[in-house]
Structure 1
Amino acid sequence: MEKDQRISYLYQRYLNGNLLPEEHQELKEYLSDFAYGDDFNRALDDTWNALDENQLVGLEDYKAKEIFDDILKRRKGIRWFGEYFKTLTVAASIILVSIVTILFLKKSYKSDLSEKLSLEQEILPGGNKAFLTLGNGESIDLSEEKSGIKVSDAGISYVNGANIIEGKKGDNSSTYLVLNTPKGGEYQITLSDGTKVWLNAESKLKYPFKFQGKVRNVELEGEAYFEVAKSKDQPFIVQSRGQQVKVLGTHFNINTYDTETKTTLVEGKVRVDKQDQRGEKTSVILKPGEQSVVQPFASQIDVQNVNILEFLDWKDGLFVFNNESIVSIAKKLSRWYDVDFSFQGNVNNVRFSGNYLRKNTLTNLLKNIELTGSVKFKTENLKEGRRIMVIANY
């Protein structure tokens, strides 16, 4: 039996609830092996097309979550999380169909599917988009053909070496510049000390042309992942809303999108400081796998253990949803696909789990979510841009 036929067979038995233990393990092996991505893609298309709508009733959430959790657990023993994502991104564009659809299929369809899919226009993903603002106020629209820039004594150039501006000496060497990504944009930068920064959509990094003095200081709005070059004599400090992060050399992510600021540590050690309205300071030291949460009016800094994959997904080209509300998901999609969302009806209890490649269209993702019967989407073209209405099916 061909691999795609075998996967179709196993997947169908899974949906029917009569998968044997050894077959269950075999299906998970296929799902966790990147090499079978195309086979899995074809198999799921065939299986989906052959489904009887009566089979879509009564599947339990915990069964689908079992496979999702099992894949996440497989990262044990693998040091470099980037390599794990190659395993996690099985079946490329149809991860949601392969994992999440299992979780989603809880209701029978009361009408033809074509009537439910109200999205008519393809909504393309974001890409390499950023603006560089110089000390004199001049703004440079950076190339979308390049993924990042680097700062050196010779000036600022693209990663392939093409020059953007020539280096300046003397007083101008400490001039601060700003790298800004709009909605639907991301960019990378290597700072003058060798520190690498990945900037997510709707984010801003303020940094000097060259670090001088006893500290290396930058300011962040939005979200960024840092790989800080080690320097015992010159600590690296990130100023962001409500907090200050101080490191010598480490890898971490900072997210300031919502009212709370989250710092997630991948490796090394960082100190997170905050100062309340009375001027009292609070500090915590994070260990790898921990995340600090700074609330605007809280006196303390909360620390929790997290699965870092869920917070670094964007850097590796993924959306990872783990029992996440549709409202939270919409915020992430809004930033990356440059659309606005509105809500109609009670969507507070609508939650989803699964993965989706950021390089794929939003239209495909939303159509798959519509198949759950929990919500449907309607696009509106307004003067100020596109808006998607999320309508609860309750």
Structure 2
Amino acid sequence: MHKIDHIVNLLKDYLTGDLDVQQANEVERLFTEHPSLRKIVRELDHENNLREALHAYTELYTNTFREREERVLKDVLSRIKDESRVSKPSFIWRRLTIYASVAAVTIAVLFVAIIRQKKTTVSPSPSVEEIINTFTPGGNKAALTLSSGQQINLSDTYSGIVIDSQIGYEDGTSVFEEGRIAEDEVLTLSTPRGGQYQVTLSDGTKVWLNAESKLRYPYRFSREVRNVELEGEAYFEVVHQRDAPFIVKTAKEKIEVLGTHFNVNSYQTDINSTVALLEGKVKVSSGEDHNTVLKPGQQSVVSRGKIEIRNVNVDECVAWKNGEFMFNNETLENVMKKVARWYDLDIELSSNLKDVEIWGSVSRYDNFNTVLKLIKMTDDRIRFEVTGRRVRFVK
């Protein structure tokens, strides 16, 4: 066993690059005497797996390995016993040395061969970087649902649908067969996490829907009022009609307009609901007693039934619609809500990171690792852990 252990340990030191000159010469002699061993090790070296082999050896030196080792030793002892019946003592000891050496090399070859087998039969676990690279951005994904509950998954080849003489895609291709939609039909356009879509309503109003959002609207508007309901985030370009106000209802406010461009962010899971005005004039109401009129460049923030008015950079509010994430000293907690919806991830922050402020912008069409780089630029002490599609940030 001493000889066997010595050679195995020698190979272990060779694999980790810890040989002194004497040991290196000994390994070279071993390779010269046993070319098969040199070939196996060279193959491992070619695969850049030598240093990993030591770790694999500690996992592979199991009871099965020991049983194989014992079988080799028993075979050696059996041969020595047979030789002792017909040979002189000095010859026996000489043969013992030879057999012990053969046994040692056999065990060593077995050790390396098992490692090689493990390398070729077990796929290595993907690295964190490889997993992160699979977190690709969202795209054109949406479903259109009728009042009856019938649902149509819309094509991701197109970015939106148009309601005209029929419901069709931008190039005129029909979504439904003609004549199947009643004039008073109420439709729901919904996007999943990682989805976005557009719709041009029957009055010509254009709506861009962000990820994980729903817009309910009639197939045809009445002449007196144009009502839609929103859950999530959407950007509106409302066509002016003097005698038919356009009203957007969310769970937290009502927005009344005649013709204007504005963004509404009203997710049920968020405490605040916001309306940012780019052009025109809108009236925002919350409950019976709170209402305000916004001017371009202003944003209303509804929280627990109360309305606050802020001056904002409207480009930041509609950056998502233009294919960007734009953050101006925004808390990491808010940033990650937006990122999680777009990349369809489950993101968790340690408590000491929620109020960290992020500044910068990245394309919404970059992979998730680009967002990570922006966060690391803010504070390189921030680390992340990945499990499946769950990302946890810690510091």
Q: TM-score range by the shorter chain?
A: 0.5 to 0.7
What per-residue deviation string (whole Å, max 9, x for no partner) do you get for residues 198-232 of structure 1? Answer: 00000000000000141000000000000001111
* Partner of residue 223, structure 1: 233
What is the SS of the residue equivalent to 2:320?
A: helix
In the alignment, the residues of structure 2 paired with residue 303 and residue 149 of structure 1 have an alpha-carbon distance, to the nearest angstrom, of 34
Give the match's secondary structure for 1:192: coil
Please give the alpha-carbon distance, in whole angstroms, between the structure 2 residues aligned to 1:137 and 1:377: 41
Higher relative contact order structure (alpha carbons within 8 Å, sequence separation ≥ 6): 1
1:139 aligned to 2:151? yes
1:350 positional shift: 2.3
Say if 1:368 and 1:261 are closer, same or farther in 2 by CA, change over 3 A. Answer: closer
Match of 2:390 among 376, 387, 390: 387
Structure 1 residue aligned with 2:385: 378
CA contact (8 A) 1:270 1:285 kept: yes
Change (3 A) 1:228 1:167: farther
Task: Pick from 313, 316, 320 the counterpart of residue 319 of structure 2.
Answer: 313
1:345 to 1:249, Cα distance in 2 relative to 1, 3 A:
closer
Larger-Rg structure: 2
Please give the secondary structure, in 1, of the residue aligned with 2:342.
helix
Alignment of 1:102-251 (within 5 A): 118-121=128-131, 122=133, 123-153=135-165, 155-168=166-179, 172-251=182-261
SS of 1:366's equivalent in the other structure is helix
Contact kept? 2:286, 2:305, Cα under 8 Å: no
Secondary structure of residue in 2 paired with 1:222: strand
Q: Distance in 1 between matches of 2:298 and 2:381?
A: 33
Q: Aligned residue for 1:303?
A: 309
User: What residue is the counterpart of 1:270 in the other structure?
Assistant: 282
Which digits, 9 at most, give the CA deviation of each residue in 1:26-73, with x for residues without a partner? xxxxxxxxxxxxxxxxxxxxxxxxxxxxxxxxxxxxxxxxxxxxxxxx
When the two structures are aligned, how many residues end up with a matched partner?
Answer: 264
> Contact 1:119–1:378 (CA<8 Å) still a contact in 2?
no
Q: Deviations over 1:246-273 (max 9, x none)?
A: 1111100000122221000000011112
Q: Quote the Cα distance in structure 2 between the aligned partners of 1:241 and 1:226.
A: 17
Check the 8 A contact 2:281/2:296 in 1, yes or no. yes
Q: CA deviation at 1:119?
A: 3.3
AA aligned opposite 1:311: C
CA shift at 1:169, angstroms?
8.2
User: How much has 1:166 moved relative to structure 2?
Assistant: 3.8
CA–CA distance in 1 between the matches of 2:253 and 2:202? 24
RMSD of aligned residue pairs (Cα, Å): 1.7
- The code of the aligned residue for 1:137 comes to G
8 Å Cα contact 2:254/2:286 also seen in 1: yes
Partner-residue secondary structure (3-state), 2:176: strand
Amino acid at match of 2:167: I
Structure 1: distance between partners of 2:326 and 2:189: 26
1:286 equivalenced with 2:294 (yes/no): yes
* Partners of 2:261 and 2:177 in 1: CA distance: 29
Q: 1:344 to 1:292 in 2, by over 3 A?
A: closer
Instruction: Give the whole-Å Cα distance in 2 for the aligned partners of 1:343 and 1:272.
Output: 33
Q: Contact 1:290–1:303 (CA<8 Å) still a contact in 2?
A: yes
Question: Equivalents in 2 of 1:167, 1:232: separation in Å?
Answer: 31
* Deviation for aligned residue 1:296: 2.4
After superposition, the Cα gap between the structure-2 partners of 1:369 and 1:119, relative to the gap in structure 1 and judged at 3 Å, is: farther
The one-letter amino acid paired with 1:181 is T
Query: What does the per-residue CA deviation read over 1:104-140, in whole Å, with 9 as the maximum and x for residues that have no partner?
Result: xxxxxxxxxxxxx943321100000000001221100
Shift of 1:274: 1.8
CA contact (8 A) 2:167 2:174 kept: yes
**How many percent of aligned residue pairs carry the same amino acid?**
46
TM-score (norm 1): 0.64
Aligned 1:96-107 pairs, distance under 5 A:
none
Stretches of structure 2 that go unaligned for 5 or more consecutive residues are: 1-126
